[in-house]
C-alpha cells in the first residue's frame, strides 16, 4: 500500500520523530511504499501548502499522523497543539480519500477523546509497529479490523477498541528509518538525536502517563543493538544523544550492561542523558555511567517529603534519594532532581519538608508546580476528570488548594536566592521551550541538558564534587 506519514510537530527546539520513524521502518520492511512529510521546520504559512503537495504527489491509500504533544506539558505557560491537529486532519480529509490513522504518545494518553473529536479516523493505542503493519494488511485485504490488536475507531457512534499489542522482543524491530528526515537540520538546531533501550514502566505513580503510552511490562533491547543504533547516530553527526526510556535504570543491570557495551565499542566520545529513578542507583551504575560519558542524570524524584512520596506512589523514599545523590556526587555525574509540588494532599508543611530535604542534599533541583490530570491515571480517579466535553484534548492542571498560589511565590523567591534551585513557574521559567535564552542557545547548536546551558549562561559555579 502507499502510505504517507506526517510529522506535524513544529515545536522548537526540535526532537526527531523517533516513533514515526520506527513505524516507517517496520512498514517498509513489509514492502509498503512509504512517503514521509516532516513539517518540523515548516512555517505556519507553508504548512497547508506542504500537506496538499505531499498528498497530490503520492496519492496515498493510508495517511498516518503522529500526535506527540497535546500541550507544552506544564499548564503554566499554557499553550496547546489542538488547532494544529484539527488543521492537519481536516486537510488530509479534504484532499484525499485515504484512511487517516492517528497514533503517538499524545494520542495514546487520550485515545477515546481523539476518536470522539476525529470520528472518521482510526487510532493506534500504544506502540505502533505491529498494529500498523496488521492494519495495512487488513485494509488491503478488506478484512474486519476487530481482529487487529491495538486499534480504536468509532462506528455508528459506538467506540471499538481491540486492546493493546506489545512487541516482546524489541531487538527484533528494524532501526528507525532516519534516512526519511533531514537529520542534519535537527543536529544544527540543537535537536538532540535520540534512541530507545526499552519500553514500559512497571511502576504506577498516580499522575504518570508513561504507562498509558508504553504499558507496564518492561521489554528490553539487547545492549549490542543499542550500540549499533548509537554508532549510527554518531555517524549521522550526533555529538549528543537523549535516551528516551521512561526509566533508564530499571532494571539497573540492563543500564549497566548498556554503559559497558558503549564504552567497549569506543562510543564514550558522545555525551548523552536519560531519565532515572532514585529507586536503584548503586555505585556500580554511577561508575558505569561516568565511564560511558553520561552527561545528564535526570531523576524523576517528584517529592522529598515521605508522606507525599507515598501518596504519589513513588517506589522509593528519602533513603534511596540520598544514596542516589551521594553516588552522583562520588562519580562527578551532572544530575538534577525533578520535583512536582502540589499533588493531592500537599500542604505547606510537606512543601517546606521537600525543599529542606533537597537543600540538605546539595543537588540541582528543578521545581514544577501542579500535575496534569489524564483520564486513565489514578490521579484522574482521585480528583475527577471533567466529562463535559469528551473531545477536549488539553489535560487540566491540578494544584492542591492548600498550597495553590503560595507555592509559586515560595519557589520563585527560593530560586532567586539559590542558583541550584530552578523553577518552571512564571516569569523565571526554565522551560526549555519557552525560555528564550535556552531556545536561542540550542538554535546556535548548543547541546546537552538545558539546566547546564543556563548554568553556563549565568556563570553559576559548578559545585565541587567529591571523588573516591
Binding residues for ligand B12 (CB under 6 A): 9, 11, 14-16, 18-20, 22-23, 64-66, 68-73, 101-106, 108-109, 124, 127-129, 132, 192, 194, 196, 209-210, 213-214, 242, 244, 246, 372, 431-433
Smaller CB separation from ligand SF4, 46 or 204? 204
Contact between 289 and 331 under an 8 Å Cβ cutoff? The reply is yes
Sign of CA pseudo-dihedral 263, 267, 272, 274: negative
Quick one: what does residue 465 bind among ligand SF4, ligand B12, none, with the CB cut-off 5 to 8 Å set by partner type?
A: none
Smaller CB separation from ligand SF4, 8 or 296? 296
Smaller CB separation from ligand SF4, 35 or 199? 199
How far apart (Å, rounded) are the C-alpha atoms in residues 154 and 102? 13
162-201 mask for ligand SF4 (x: CB under 6 A)?
A: ---------------------------------------x
Quick one: what does residue 19 bind among ligand SF4, ligand B12, none, with the CB cut-off 5 to 8 Å set by partner type?
A: ligand B12
Identify the three-state secondary structure at position 275: strand
Quick one: what does residue 22 bind among ligand B12, ligand SF4, none, with the CB cut-off 5 to 8 Å set by partner type?
A: ligand B12
Give residue for cell 488539553: 394
Smaller CB separation from ligand SF4, 143 or 381? 381
Quick one: what does residue 214 bind among ligand SF4, ligand B12, none, with the CB cut-off 5 to 8 Å set by partner type?
A: ligand B12
- C-alpha separations of 232 from 22, 86, 175, 224 in Å: 15, 35, 10, 12
Q: What share of the chain is helix, strand, coil (3-state, %, to 5)?
A: 40, 20, 40
Taking the complex as a whole, the smallest distance from the CB of residue 219 to ligand SF4 amounts, in Å, to: 14
Taking the complex as a whole, the smallest distance from the CB of residue 321 to ligand SF4 amounts, in Å, to: 13
Taking the complex as a whole, the smallest distance from the CB of residue 313 to ligand SF4 amounts, in Å, to: 7
Taking the complex as a whole, the smallest distance from the CB of residue 300 to ligand SF4 amounts, in Å, to: 4
Taking the complex as a whole, the smallest distance from the CB of residue 263 to ligand B12 amounts, in Å, to: 22
Smaller CB separation from ligand B12, 100 or 357? 100
- C-alpha separations of 362 from 282, 326, 329, 335, 352 in Å: 18, 10, 9, 11, 16
How far apart (Å, rounded) are the C-alpha atoms in residues 292 and 182? 28
200-239 mask for ligand SF4 (x: CB under 6 A)?
A: -x-xxx--x-xx----------------------------
Taking the complex as a whole, the smallest distance from the CB of residue 207 to ligand SF4 amounts, in Å, to: 8
Question: Quick one: angle between helices 450-457 and 436-443, nearest 10?
Answer: 100
Which of these, 153, 158, 166, lies nearest to 123 by C-alpha position? 153
Quick one: what does residue 300 bind among ligand SF4, ligand B12, none, with the CB cut-off 5 to 8 Å set by partner type?
A: ligand SF4
Smaller CB separation from ligand SF4, 14 or 200? 200
How far apart (Å, rounded) are the C-alpha atoms in residues 434 and 424? 10
- C-alpha separations of 413 from 275, 321, 406 in Å: 27, 25, 11
Taking the complex as a whole, the smallest distance from the CB of residue 97 to ligand B12 amounts, in Å, to: 18
DSSP state of 70: S
236-275 mask for ligand SF4 (x: CB under 6 A)?
A: ----------xx----------------------------
Strand segments, DSSP code E, in 104-259 are 122-124, 151-155, 158-161, 193-195, 198-199, 219-220, 240-243
Cross-strand pairs, 240 = 271
Measured in Å, how far apart are the chain's first and last C-alpha atoms? 59
How far apart (Å, rounded) are the C-alpha atoms in residues 449 and 73? 18
Q: Which residues bind ligand SF4 (CB under 6 A)?
A: 201, 203-205, 208, 210-211, 246-247, 277, 300
Amino acid at each position: 500500500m502507499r502510505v504517507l506519514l506526517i510529522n506535524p510537530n513544529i515545536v522548537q527546539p526540535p526532537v526527531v520523530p523517533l516513533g514515526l520513524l520506527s513505524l516507517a521502518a517496520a512498514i517498509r520492511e513489509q514492502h509498503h511504499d512509504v512517503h514521509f512529510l516532516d513539517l518540523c521546520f515548516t512555517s505556519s504559512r507553508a504548512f497547508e501548502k506542504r500537506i496538499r503537495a505531499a498528498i497530490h504527489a503520492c496519492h496515498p491509500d493510508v495517511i498516518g499522523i503522529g500526535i506527540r504533544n497535546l500541550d507544552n506539558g506544564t499548564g503554566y505557560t499554557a499553550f496547546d497543539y489542538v488547532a494544529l491537529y484539527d488543521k492537519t486532519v481536516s486537510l488530509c480529509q479534504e484532499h484525499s480519500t485515504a484512511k487517516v490513522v492517528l497514533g503517538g504518545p499524545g494520542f495514546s494518553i487520550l485515545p477515546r477523546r481523539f476518536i470522539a473529536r476525529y470520528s472518521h479516523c482510526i487510532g493506534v493505542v500504544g506502540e505502533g509497529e505491529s498494529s500498523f503493519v496488521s492494519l495495512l494488511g487488513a485494509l488491503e485485504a478488506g478484512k474486519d479490523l476487530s481482529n487487529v490488536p491495538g486499534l480504536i475507531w468509532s462506528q455508528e457512534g459506538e467506540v471499538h477498541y481491540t486492546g493493546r499489542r506489545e512487541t516482546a522482543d524489541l531487538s527484533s524491530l528494524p532501526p528507525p528509518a532516519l534516512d526519511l528526515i533531514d537529520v542534519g537540520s535537527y543536529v544544527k538546531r540543537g535537536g538532540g538525536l535520540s534512541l530507545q533501550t526499552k519500553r514500559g514502566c512497571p511502576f504506577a505513580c498516580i499522575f504518570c502517563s508513561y504507562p498509558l503510552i508504553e504499558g507496564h511490562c518492561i521489554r528490553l533491547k539487547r545492549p549490542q543493538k543499542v550500540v549499533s543504533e548509537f554508532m549510527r547516530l554518531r555517524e549521522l553527526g550526533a555529538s549528543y544523544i537523549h535516551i528516551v526510556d521512561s526509566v533508564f535504570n530499571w532494571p539497573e543491570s540492563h543500564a549497566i550492561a548498556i554503559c559497558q557495551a558503549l564504552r567497549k565499542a569506543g562510543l564514550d566520545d558522545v555525551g548523552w542523558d536519560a531519565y532515572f529513578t532514585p529507586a536503584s542507583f548503586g555505585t556500580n551504575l554511577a561508575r558505569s555511567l561516568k565511564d560511558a560519558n553520561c552527561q545528564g542524570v535526570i531523576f524523576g524524584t517528584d517529592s522529598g517529603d515521605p508522606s507525599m512520596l507515598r501518596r504519589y506512589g513513588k517506589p522509593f523514599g528519602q533513603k534511596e534519594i540520598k544514596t542516589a545523590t551521594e553516588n552522583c556526587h562520588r562519580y562527578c555525574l551532572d544530575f538534577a532532581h525533578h520535583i512536582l509540588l502540589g499533588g493531592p494532599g500537599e500542604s505547606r508543611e510537606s512543601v517546606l519538608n521537600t525543599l529542606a530535604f533537597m537543600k540538605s542534599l546539595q543537588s540541582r533541583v528543578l521545581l514544577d508546580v501542579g500535575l496534569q490530570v489524564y483520564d486513565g491515571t489514578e490521579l484522574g480517579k482521585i480528583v475527577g476528570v471533567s466529562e463535559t466535553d469528551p473531545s477536549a484534548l488539553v489535560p487540566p492542571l491540578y494544584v492542591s488548594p492548600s498550597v495553590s498560589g503560595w507555592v509559586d511565590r515560595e519557589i520563585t523567591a527560593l530560586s532567586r536566592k539559590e542558583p541550584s534551585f530552578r523553577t518552571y513557574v512564571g516569569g523565571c521559567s526554565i522551560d526549555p521551550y519557552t525560555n528564550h535564552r535556552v531556545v536561542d542557545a540550542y538554535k546556535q547548536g548548543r547541546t546537552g541538558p538545558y539546566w547546564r546551558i543556563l548554568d553556563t549562561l549565568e556563570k553559576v559555579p559548578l559545585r565541587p564534587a567529591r571523588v573516591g
